Amino acid sequence: MAVTLSDVADRAGVSPATVSRVLNGNYPVAAKTRQRVEKAIRDLDYVVNAHARALLHATSGMIGVVLNDLADPFFATVASGIQSAALPMQRLVIVCSSGGDQETEFAYIEMLRRHRAEVVILVGSSPEDAAYKRALAGQAKGLHAQGSRLVLCGRPAPSRHTPAAVVSVDESRSLRELAEYLSQQGHRRIGYLAGPPNQSTSTARRSSLTNALQRVGIRLPDGFVAQGEFTRESGYEATCRLISGGVKFTALCAANDLMAAGAMRALDESGVDVPGDVSVIGFDDLPVATDITPKLTTIRVPLVEVGQHAVAMAFAPESANRRRLLPTRLIVRGSSGRAVGTREARRTA
Amino acid sequence: MAVTLSDVADRAGVSPATVSRVLNGNYPVAAKTRQRVEKAIRDLDYVVNAHARALLHATSGMIGVVLNDLADPFFATVASGIQSAALPMQRLVIVCSSGGDQETEFAYIEMLRRHRAEVVILVGSSPEDAAYKRALAGQAKGLHAQGSRLVLCGRPAPSRHTPAAVVSVDESRSLRELAEYLSQQGHRRIGYLAGPPNQSTSTARRSSLTNALQRVGIRLPDGFVAQGEFTRESGYEATCRLISGGVKFTALCAANDLMAAGAMRALDESGVDVPGDVSVIGFDDLPVATDITPKLTTIRVPLVEVGQHAVAMAFAPESANRRRLLPTRLIVRGSSGRAVGTREARRTA
DNA sequence: CTGTTAGCGCATTCAG
DNA sequence: CTGAATGCGCTAACAG
């Protein structure tokens, strides 16, 4: 069906070995022979069979990426960072979107193992239950035994001994900045739109914020927290629940920008002015943050860089078990300001 | 390095062929033997080598997708449609983001050919120059010769004889609806934010709109058109150019929602009220359309379905040279309304 | 029901 | 500088 290396050899009147040498350019080949071979390749429109090569080399040189949802800009942005770093290394990127389903995720990892992916990158939150961690640790061992490298992006390793590199962000500093900022602006009662329960990202962001607020003497009681699922809709609904529950807050922080966008809409529909009545703060700094009005104050996460570092670490020597933390940054925009009820706010009112 | 089928055979005390039969379940194997083999597989954590299989079958069963930019929600959404359709078929999806660069695009197609991708899906606009078309037609032939199927999404085939299936949208009907709507609302002077020149999507959308407007007696002169690149920033800048150029329009159509979002910001900063002074219309109906205020009137393109149909057509018998057109829909939201200067508008003013 | 054999397409020895 | 031979891991005939 397809043209093979021997076909090329026949047409050029040389042996397969010679064609191979021309292809790889590693061994000396007479100029005349080379030209004849190159012509045959062009004439026949020959394309090497990557599988035959992979069979010899025991690896395919592909980068597998497993993420929750390709259509979510958070993941899409990390993926594009991975892709951009993979291109100059001549690596193909396989993107697998699991939809957040654990079984699908493992099915994809298995498929990537079958294809002897050189690198497997897991992006985003991971469930925090023991069974999952054990299963993942098992896959990690398997990948390692195969000679594939595993990189975890934005999620912790399932255990200390897991042979995996980790690229993550350290949001604690930015959140301390945010806490100080909110405190200075007179905010005392703060609502929080959390991510789905038992997900590493959700708990990390929430506990970091809780700690940061504590440092400035602000508590984040459970009653001020509503769960969502990192989507606009869930942010909208969670905000509605807080409002209809009679929770009084002067600032509303969200676990990501999408939820914050949903919150803005809910507040708007309830006649709450942002930032006049309530300040809204997002997380990630996705494009949506500046699409909405007023523009969203948020914690910028360097998503493209996260992806690029993941690739870099995968190809760095001794990458297993290495960890890399990227800093985030507080971006203050129009959606936040002084709390209502503060002296200053009363004066200007 | 990695565990092979023979390793399993040795451990189970059977021949490699038997292990293969257990794996594929096609031939009868004694229950006892099967169990022994299955245990060995588990003990050794054996994972089949997809390359060895692909070598026999002359295809890898992978779906390759080449698109402009993964971080662009337009492409990400189509890709997620492809992914969702590929999962139940147990197909791995390779996503290649070319950044709109032709060379990169061909490099990726070549890599996909090397990997004997079963299906190659090209998503989005294509340059409209002859050299490109010839090159693409060549690759299409090569893919066909290899036994790979080619699907073009949202772009025309380079020639009548190209062995490729095409999935596209037919926006003409919606644009006629839009033209009638705008006309009824009293709009006569309409601005247009076009996509990059010599791109199939740009010219298709522009000419369809021009035709539709013509039917209701509205012209779209070049002076009312500003070029952009399907991004927010370019939409912003293009709108600024129109405004500072003194172009007076009561409605502004954009080649996509991202540019419309940029336009809204530019208009806002210039003190132009939407939809009071100017109606804004987008294209695609991406999430950003409802993030902005007022929500964007737009032409909805069924992007997920486009991706799903692409996969379906690839696996349909006799798919080569087939064409499938999906309908779009006009979605009227808050960003559009009556033109200023019409009788009704004056009355209510 | 199971083992033996051959070959998929290629890169790499080893000889010449 | 070039050709012949070997084997990567697996499946499909072909025997038993």
Q: What is the pLDDT of residues B122-174, one digit of tens each?
A: 999 889 999 999 999 999 999 998 889 999 999 999 988 899 999 999 999 99
Q: Give dist(CA A310, CA A169) in Å, integer.
A: 12
B95 secondary structure, DSSP code: E
Q: How many inter-chain contacts (A to B, CB under 8 Å) are there? A: 163
For chain B, report the end-to-end CA distance as a whole number of angstroms: 79
pLDDT band at B8 (very low <50, low <70, confident <90, very high): very high
Edge-to-edge, what's the strand order for the sheet holding A251-254? Answer: A225-227, A190-194, A251-254, A279-281
Nearest Cα neighbor of A300 from A166, A170, A210 is: A170
Q: Give dist(CA B34, CA B31) in Å, integer.
A: 5
* Three-state DSSP state, A161: coil
**Is residue B169 within 8 Å of B301, Cβ to Cβ?**
yes
What confidence score (pLDDT) does residue A64 get? 92
Q: Give dist(CA B262, CA B256) in Å, integer.
A: 10
Whether the pLDDT of residue B1 is over 70: the answer is: no
Instruction: Name residue A191's beta-bridge partners.
Output: A252
Q: How far, in Å, are A121, A167, A211, A284 from residue A142 at the CA level?
A: 14, 21, 37, 33
What confidence score (pLDDT) does residue A319 get? 65
Whether the pLDDT of residue B321 is over 80: the answer is: no
Q: List all residues of chain A from 98 to 137 with a beta carbon under 8 Å from chain B.
A: 99, 104, 108, 110-116
Mean pLDDT of B53-57: 89
Q: Give dist(CA A165, CA A322) in Å, integer.
A: 5
B288/A293 Cβ within 8 A: no
Nucleotide nearest to B114 (CA to C1'): C9
Residue nearest to nucleotide D1 (CA to C1'): A29
pLDDT in tens, B58-109: 788 889 999 999 999 999 999 999 999 998 888 888 888 898 889 889 988 9
Nearest Cα neighbor of B7 from B48, B55, B35 is: B48
String of DSSP letters for A133-160: HHHHHHHHHHHHHHT-EEEEESS--SST
pLDDT in tens, A286-329: 999 999 999 999 999 999 999 999 999 999 877 667 899 999 99
How many Å is the maximal CA-CA distance in chain B?
93
Q: What is the mean pLDDT of chain A?
A: 92
Residue nearest to nucleotide C1 (CA to C1'): B29
User: Measured between beta carbons, which residues in chain A are less than 8 angstroms from residue B96?
Assistant: 83, 92-93
Q: Give dist(CA A288, CA A46) in Å, integer.
A: 46
pLDDT in tens, B256-278: 999 999 999 999 999 999 999 99
pLDDT in tens, A21-37: 998 887 778 888 889 99
Whether the pLDDT of residue B44 is over 60: the answer is: yes
> Six-digit token pair at B253?
């159509």
Nearest Cα neighbor of A118 from B2, B44, B58 is: B2
Query: Is the pTM higher than 0.95?
Result: no
Ranges of H-type helices in chain A = 5-12, 16-24, 31-44, 50-57, 73-86, 102-114, 130-146, 172-184, 200-215, 232-244, 257-269, 288-291, 303-315, 343-348
pLDDT in tens, A112-149: 999 899 999 999 988 999 999 999 999 999 999 888 99
| Higher-pLDDT residue of B136, A2 | B136
**Strand pairing report for B298-300 and B329-331:** antiparallel
Stated in angstroms, how far is B47 CA from D1 C1'?
41
Asked if A27 CB < 7 A from strand D, the reply is yes
Please write down the long-range contacts of B271-277, taking CB distance under 8 Å and 24 or more positions apart. B272/B243, B274/B335, B275/B334, B275/B335, B275/B336, B275/B337, B276/B337, B276/B340, B277/B250, B277/B340
Residue B287 preceded by cis peptide, ω within 30: no
Q: What is the mean pLDDT of chain B?
A: 92
What confidence score (pLDDT) does residue A342 get? 60
Whether the pLDDT of residue A196 is over 90: the answer is: yes
Q: Give dist(CA B281, CA B252) in Å, integer.
A: 6
Q: Count other C-beta atoms under 10 Å from residue A317's C-beta.
A: 4
